[in-house]
């Protein structure tokens, strides 16, 4: 297998790089680089810029308004976006619900919802997890009961990322309480403005606000909001999770983190010398860089394989584990290098508690606590290890 980019891939990379240099506003990349809060307005502005170029829904086929890129092109695009400090695409409508509707949705659902995802009319969130149903998702209890032309929903979702901004939520609901766990679940679309929905914030350890609890009390939804067949939502749930894990290795993100660690360690003085010259610290940075290089090759092998065979397989679990372990190690190194300056919570960062004055990359590198989530969401790393054991080792 030839693991080098083709001449076309390299030309594509140059095109993306030039596009980002011209179209990504500096005030937006500055926010990403500083690690400050990305507002809804900034995210929407960036989505709109990409949509104008036809590069927003990177994983959609051309017929639905995507660019029709190969897996390798998608990877190059993500890598270049990280390199340029572009905001990450909010995935819930674009990378999760979009592909679901394209495969399982009715023509009416596709015609109605897909254009609204692209032009930003609808902001979606993901209603899967519940208290007591995270890793063991199939034990979810939120109930949807049929009443004439409506579903009546009662229950609770949790950890709902950016639910405070969402216009709609896609929910897994139990529609047959007597069926076996995976059997009686349905995939239902719910307008967040429906009476009976309450969104409560969950404050994170770092002081940020990005996840919520969502309560449903007699929430009435038209029957037409069911996607696919009644009680067959588990198939959709699994399909969506494969898409959630695509690109989860976060190669571009870790390359960015590695550069940040090195930049900080060159500036930080310990015992009269730059920290980067400390043999123990340098050895950890070198090990992380070697692991990252190895993961880049594994990632490329899987991308080229996906290019030949279609969708990625359970290998995405390997990438998820390795990618998050490497990135958490890099963020830990940044935290150690920054010392007390790594501690500020968002909103509490002032020049006074910064080690290096007004920061560029330092704030971002210090987001140690926020980054702990990556080995939990999208299916925890322990669960990914179980998947690898069962499906790849064929036990
Ligand atoms: C920041 C953040 C954002 C999130 N955003 C969303 C969202 O937008 N929408 C949504 O639906 N969900 C979201 N989640 C939820 C996420 O998917 C769950 O947190 C995750 O699936 C783990 O479930 P849990 O938290 O209930 O932990 P549990 O399932 O209770 O697991 C607790 C611990 O036990 C381990 N464990 C559990 N079962 C096993 C097993 N069989 N073998 C080995 N170890 C096991 C886990 O790995 C974990 O370490 C988010 C989570 C976080 C942290």
Report the SS3 class of residue 200. Answer: strand
The Cα 183–Cα 194 span in angstroms is 27
Distance between Cα 304 and ligand 1 center (Å): 30
Q: What is the pLDDT of residues 60-78, one digit of tens each?
A: 999 999 999 988 899 899 9
Instruction: Using the predicted structure, report yes or no on whether residue 156 has a pLDDT greater than 90.
Output: yes
**So what's the pLDDT on residue 393?**
74
Give, using CA atoms, the residue closest to atom 22 of ligand 1.
134
Burial 315-336 (b: 16+ CB within 10 A, else e): bbbbbbbbbbbbbbbbbbbbbb
Confidence label for 362 from pLDDT (cuts 50, 70 and 90): low
Q: What is the pLDDT of residues 32-53, one digit of tens each?
A: 887 777 889 999 999 999 999 9
Confidence label for 240 from pLDDT (cuts 50, 70 and 90): confident
Our answer on whether the CB atom of 376 is closer than 6 Å to any ligand 1 atom is yes
Listed residue (146, 188, 155) closest to 169, CA to CA? 188
DSSP tag of 159:
-
Our answer on whether the CB atom of 307 is closer than 6 Å to any ligand 1 atom is no
**So what's the pLDDT on residue 33?**
82
Distance between Cα 2 and ligand 1 center (Å): 37
Residue 328 and residue 375 in contact, taking contact as beta carbons nearer than 8 Å: yes
CATH of domain 123-236: 2.40.110.10
Q: Which residue has the higher pLDDT, 301 or 342?
A: 301
DSSP states along 95-158: IIIHHHHHHHS-HHHHHHHHHHHHTTS--EEEE--BTTBSTTGGG---EEEEETTEEEEEEEEE
**So what's the pLDDT on residue 365?**
57
Instruction: Using the predicted structure, report yes or no on whether residue 364 has a pLDDT greater than 80.
Output: no
Report the atom number in ligand 1 closest to the C-alpha of 125. 8
Q: Return the CATH fold of 250-392.
A: Butyryl-CoA Dehydrogenase, subunit A; domain 3 (1.20.140)
Q: Where are the domains of the chain?
A: 7-104, 123-236, 250-392
CATH of 7-104, one of 3.30.470.10, 2.40.30.10, 1.10.540.10, 3.40.50.300: 1.10.540.10
pTM, entire model? 0.92
CA distances from 295 to 200, 259, 288, 299 (A): 38, 16, 10, 6
Distance between Cα 220 and ligand 1 center (Å): 28
Instruction: Using the predicted structure, report yes or no on whether residue 2 has a pLDDT greater than 90.
Output: no
Its sign, for the CA torsion 262, 266, 268, 269, is positive
Instruction: Using the predicted structure, report yes or no on whether residue 165 has a pLDDT greater than 60.
Output: yes
Q: Which residue has the higher pLDDT, 368 or 177?
A: 177
CA distances from 344 to 261, 290, 358 (A): 17, 30, 14
């Amino acid at each position: 297998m030839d693991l080098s980019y083709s001449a076309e891939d390299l030309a594509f990379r140059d095109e993306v790089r030039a596009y980002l240099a011209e179209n990504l506003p500096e005030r937006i990349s500055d926010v990403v680089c500083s690690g400050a809060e990305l507002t809804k307005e900034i995210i929407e502005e960036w989505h709109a810029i990409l949509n104008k170029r036809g590069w927003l829904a990177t994983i959609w086929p051309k017929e639905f308004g995507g660019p029709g890129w190969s897996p390798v092109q998608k990877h190059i695009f993500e890598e270049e976006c990280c390199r340029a400090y572009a905001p990450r695409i909010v995935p819930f409508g674009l990378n999760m619900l979009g592909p679901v509707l394209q495969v399982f949705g009715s023509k009416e659902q596709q015609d109605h919802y897909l254009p609204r995802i692209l032009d930003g009319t609808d902001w979606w969130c993901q209603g899967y997890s519940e208290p007591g149903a995270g890793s063991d998702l199939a034990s979810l209890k939120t109930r949807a009961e049929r009443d004439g032309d409506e579903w009546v929903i009662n229950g609770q979702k949790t950890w709902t990322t950016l639910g405070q901004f969402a216009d709609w939520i896609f929910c897994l609901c139990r529609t047959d309480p007597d069926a076996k766990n995976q059997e009686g679940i349905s995939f239902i679309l719910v307008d967040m403005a429906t009476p009976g929905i309450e969104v409560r914030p969950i404050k994170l350890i770092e002081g940020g606000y990005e996840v919520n609890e969502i309560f449903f009390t007699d929430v009435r939804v038209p029957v037409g909001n069911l996607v696919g067949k009644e009680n067959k939502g588990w198939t959709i749930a699994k399909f969506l999770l494969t898409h959630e894990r695509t690109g989860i290795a976060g190669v571009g993100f870790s390359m960015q983190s590695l550069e940040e660690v090195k930049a900080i360690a060159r500036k930080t003085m310990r015992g009269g010398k730059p920290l980067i010259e400390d043999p123990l610290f340098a050895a950890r940075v070198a090990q992380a860089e070697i692991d990252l290089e190895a993961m880049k090759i594994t990632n490329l092998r899987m991308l080229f394989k996906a290019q030949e065979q279609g969708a990625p397989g359970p290998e995405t679990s390997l990438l998820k584990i390795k990618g998050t372990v490497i990135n958490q190690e890099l963020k830990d190194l940044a935290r150690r290098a920054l010392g007390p300056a790594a501690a500020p919570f968002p909103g509490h960062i002032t020049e006074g508690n910064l080690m290096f004055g007004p920061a560029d990359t330092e704030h971002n590198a210090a987001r140690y606590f926020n980054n702990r989530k990556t080995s939990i969401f999208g299916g925890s790393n322990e669960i990914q290890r179980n998947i690898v054991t069962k499906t790849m080792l064929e036990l």
